[in-house]
Structure formats: structure tokens, C-alpha cells
Amino acid sequence: STEGILFLVNRGQKVTKRYVPPDLVVPRVDTRKQGMDERIMLRQEAALALENLFQAAKSEGNHVLYAASGYRSFGSQQVLFDAKVKERGKDRAQRTVAPPGASEHQLGLAMDVQCPAQLNLNQDFAQTDEGKWLAANAHRFGFVIRYQAEWRDVTGYTYEPWHIRYLGIAHASALYRLN
């Protein structure tokens, strides 16, 4: 069911226009600018894990992470997708933005992450100290880097080192070990 944290959403398995996670909260984490609370909501379990992840990044390596985009409604995703289609055409847009109903953000279990050295969501994030730390440690807090470069043919998305998906510690650690 969509209530479970392992629910798979993609172009082939979508959530309805009406789906809203039941327990959205604002995690107590840093954002790049004030007033982004509405944009960084996650389901409660994922929000607590994100807080722990951000705190560990700070205490273990003095890494500063910013939450950039968490829960997105079907309607918000529609606006984002339509804008990208207009800018790049449908084929190219679909490699970088999920169509409405097909986004992990609508589940309230995904977060896009930034750092002071990389305030845009692009692949350069992977080369930052924060990006390297995140890739090596996210699983300890129940997150995975969801769209890996080597799995592009499977996921249908380009590499997104900034997009983390909450699966819980056991599942995220298993995926990390198995690549």
C-alpha cells in the first residue's frame, strides 16, 4: 500500500491525484533560505531520519546540508513537469522530471539536498565533500541515492546525486551493500 515506506512509484506504477501522505511534518533541518518549511515536508519517520542524517553530517565532517525539496503534491509535480517539457521537449524532460503521479516526492519519502558549495540541483553535487559524505553514509540513516548513473536504463532517469529516498535503515543498508 502507499502507506508503506517501501512503496515503489515510477512511470509504470503511479499514485493517484488525491494521494497525500497521512503524517507529513516539517523536519528541523537547515534550508538555503528562510520560509521553505512548506517545501521540505516529509513523512514523520523520514523527517526524523533526515534530522539525524543532517546532524551526523555536521558532527562527523562539519558538512552543511540543506533540504531543498521534499513532499510535492500531484499538482505541484504537474506544474514542474509541464515547465520542463516546455523548456526541453517531452523526451528530455522525462529523463530529469517525473510526470505527475510518478514522483517519489509525492510519497513524502524523498528529499533533494544541497550544500553551500552547490546550490543548484545538478550532478556537480557528487563532487562536493557533502555529496561524497552523503553517498557513503545516507544508508546509515535509512536513505539511498535513488537515481544512480549506472542504473539509468532501469530507472529511466539521469544521475541525481542530490535525490535521496527513505527506505528505512535495514533496506537502505542492504541496497547500499548490493549496489
Q: State the pLDDT at residue 2.
A: 65
6: CB partners within 8 A, 6+ apart: 167, 168, 171
The catalytic position among 3, 51, 130, 160 is 160
The model's pTM is 0.94
Q: What is the pLDDT of residues 149-170, one digit of tens each?
A: 887 888 878 888 999 999 999 9
Q: State the pLDDT at residue 55.
A: 98
Q: Is 43 helix (H, G, I), strand (E, B) or coil?
A: strand
Q: What is the pLDDT of residues 96-124, one digit of tens each?
A: 889 999 999 999 999 999 999 998 888 89
160 is catalytic: yes
